[in-house]
Amino acid sequence: RYLGIRREEKRVITAREWGMLALVAVVLSVLTARLWYLQILHGAELSARAELVRTRLLRTPPPRGLIVDRNQRVLATNRAQIVVSVIPDMLRRNPERIPLVAQRLGIAHDELRQLIENPRINPFTPLVVQRGAAFDQAVDLLESQYNLPEVEVSLLAMRRYPHGKLFAHLLGYVGQISQEELKAYSARAQEDAADWLQMRLYDGQDFVGKNGVERTYEAYLHGKPGGEQVEVTPLGRRVRTLQEFEPTAGDRVVLSVDLRLQQKAYELLQGHTGALVALDPRTGEVLAMVSQPSFDPNLFVPRIPEAVWRPLMNDPRAPLNNRAIQSAYAPGSIFKPIVALEGLKRGLITTRTGVSCTGGYRAGTRTFRCWKRHGSVDFYESIAFSCDVFYYQLAQRLGPDALAQLSRAFGLGQRTGIDLPHERSGLVPDPQWKRERFNQPWFGGETLNYGIGQGYLTITPLQGAVLTMGLANRGVMYRPHLVKAIRSEDGARVQTIEPEVIRRYEASPQHWDAVIEGMVRAVERGTAGAARVPGVRVAGKTGSAEFRKGGKTHAWFIAFAPAENPRVAICVLAEEAGGGGAIAAPIAGQWLRYFFQLGY
């Protein structure tokens, strides 16, 4: 006590009060964090979203970029057409109207039902069901709009391929964007969105590349949409136009292919099932690539009718398959030049090595036959006349692991990386692969077949062309590519595709000279006489790969020319057509003569 005043006792805060204070602190922290998230971290994005509440972008799809050949000849373009679309969601909710709508559009009820129930489409965006509609039909549908709210008629720029089947496997085709594609492309566009139009780069009505160059270079060909930015009321009524944007056409994609060379290759392969691939060995540029049989890509725009799709899918010749990159075959004797090169490199043979070919080679209890009784054969003649006995013996000395290593050094068993989807890698076998695949050991006879390009080894015609490029360039192989340059339509921006070395095979100049001389003799006096070109030294090699017992062989031929300074490397395959010298070499010979006539 002091002067009669009692000191106040110090009050102790209870546990409940401490809990309340902690709760208030947590709530304040959460609110602060949320404000930071909204105002600082995502302020610009949320501001843009708020702007969307009172503005709307009326989108105009962009014209798709052109695809042209190396001489600017148009291979893929656009053409304005009247198209008829339906809204799938409206028909899904009112399935009883499907027969009426189908009847008015002139298509089968079941076909329309199947189209709108496809789970891959966006049900809320118009689905194109007819293109190239007649003017009278369009007027009739527009006049019936009140009774047909599910149907829309519009004018769209549709993709057109003026050369049809000629470039089908290279260009691919476009189709209406699926729901999965829309999500994927839109998510990618959002990451780089700098304005309104970039945020809506893709729409459910857009057409995108489904295969070929159209798919690989979709980002360049698509373009940037245009339209109007308008102010609207909360009820959606348009008040005024704020801005107008012109759509930007997609980039022009320039291919390395020459239309004239492609046309020639297509004509020469008529009547055959197979492929022809021609490369510029100095760059890896594709000069021509044809697969037969082919198909018309215009059938897929905007969608392929069921009555057309089923026969294509069920055709035993598989016209949709790009045999140049998607089919793999035993290479047969076109494999022999690199086996000879490896034998020279390892010192197992020399240019003076010879064998006596009696029409077969005895290994163990089995005789491996040669396609002909050659008699005495030296190194150069083994290539020129394709003596199997020479390569049975050489393969036996090399062994399967060395043959597999050699194959991989020339790019076999691996995708080349060409700018096309769905490339197949082929197969390079070895003892370990066989143990894992079949749980069996490697047999000696399989090594002998390996040496002549038979057995488990398979390659694509494109890999055959890359192998030929390696021989032409004395070990240097470039990545094959179809696109030469990408240009904006105004010419302000140009992107050139530069050559890319993908592998090298080292050997001495003398060994390269020997193998190339053997290939030149194959054309001048051996199995490939049909590939001669007046005034030009051609180095080539025929191949006849067994496929099925009792059936004809696959006909192969590879070549490069001129032998001393190559400007072209070519590979021809004709499935089950017979001998390479009788079938594939004449095709390549005619193509090469035309190539040099054009001044290449």
Residue 532 sits in a domain of what CATH number?
3.40.710.10
- State whether 209 and 292 are in the same domain: no
- State whether 176 and 43 are in the same domain: no
Mean pLDDT of all residues in 512-528: 98
Q: Which segment of 211-225, 280-294, 301-315, 436-450 scores lowest on mean pLDDT?
A: 301-315
pLDDT at position 48 is: 58
Residue 195 within a domain: yes
How many other CB atoms are found less than 10 A from the CB of residue 138?
17
Q: Give Cα 523 to chain centroid, integer Å.
A: 33
- State whether 224 and 125 are in the same domain: yes
pLDDT tops 80 at residue 56: no
The residues assigned a catalytic role are 333
pLDDT at position 551 is: 87
pLDDT at position 149 is: 85
Q: Which segment of 74-88, 93-107, 126-140, 309-323 scores lowest on mean pLDDT?
A: 126-140
- State whether 236 and 268 are in the same domain: no
pLDDT tops 80 at residue 228: no
- State whether 437 and 365 are in the same domain: yes
Number of domains in the chain: 3
- State whether 472 and 416 are in the same domain: yes
pLDDT tops 80 at residue 202: yes
Residue 311 within a domain: no
Residue 92 within a domain: yes
- State whether 50 and 72 are in the same domain: no
- State whether 243 and 337 are in the same domain: no
Q: Which segment of 117-131, 282-296, 297-311, 360-374 scores lowest on mean pLDDT?
A: 117-131
| Rounded CA Rg of the chain | 33
DSSP one-letter code for 352? T
pLDDT at position 141 is: 82
pLDDT tens sequence across 184-200 = 888 887 777 666 677 77
pLDDT at position 83 is: 83
| Residue 543 near residue 580 (C-beta atoms within 8 A) | yes
Mean pLDDT of all residues in 381-406: 97
- State whether 364 and 496 are in the same domain: yes
Average pLDDT, the chain: 90
- State whether 395 and 495 are in the same domain: yes
Residue 541 within a domain: yes
Q: Give Cα 4 to chain centroid, integer Å.
A: 101
Mean pLDDT of all residues in 25-30: 84
Domain ranges, residue 469: 259-296+327-597
What CATH number is attached to the domain comprising 97?
Answer: 3.90.1310.10
Residue 6 within a domain: no
pLDDT tens sequence across 338-371 = 999 999 999 999 999 999 999 999 998 899 999 9
pLDDT at position 399 is: 97
pLDDT at position 247 is: 87
pLDDT at position 466 is: 98
Residue 306 within a domain: no
pLDDT at position 237 is: 60
pLDDT tops 60 at residue 472: yes
| Residue 392 near residue 469 (C-beta atoms within 8 A) | no
Percent of the chain with pLDDT over 90: 63
- State whether 225 and 370 are in the same domain: no
pLDDT at position 201 is: 85
- Phi and psi at 22, nearest 5°, equal -65, -40
Residue 73: Cβ-neighbour burial (10 angstroms; 0-12, 13-18, 19+): middle
In sequence order, the 6+-apart residues with CB closer than 8 A to the CB of 115 are 86, 88, 121, 127, 129, 303
Conformational region of residue 150, where left means phi above 0, alpha means psi within -120 to 50, and beta covers everything else: alpha
pLDDT tens sequence across 118-142 = 876 767 767 888 877 888 888 888 8
Percent of the chain with pLDDT over 70: 93
Residue 308 within a domain: no
Residue 4 within a domain: no
10: pLDDT confidence band, cut at 50, 70 and 90?
low
Mean pLDDT of all residues in 236-255: 83
11: pLDDT confidence band, cut at 50, 70 and 90?
low
DSSP one-letter code for 38? I
pLDDT at position 511 is: 98
| More confident position, 229 or 117 | 117
1: pLDDT confidence band, cut at 50, 70 and 90?
very low
DSSP one-letter code for 533? B
pLDDT at position 200 is: 78
Tell me which of 7, 28, 55 is where a domain ends: 55
- State whether 400 and 540 are in the same domain: yes
| More confident position, 378 or 153 | 378
DSSP one-letter code for 551? S
505: pLDDT confidence band, cut at 50, 70 and 90?
very high
80: pLDDT confidence band, cut at 50, 70 and 90?
confident
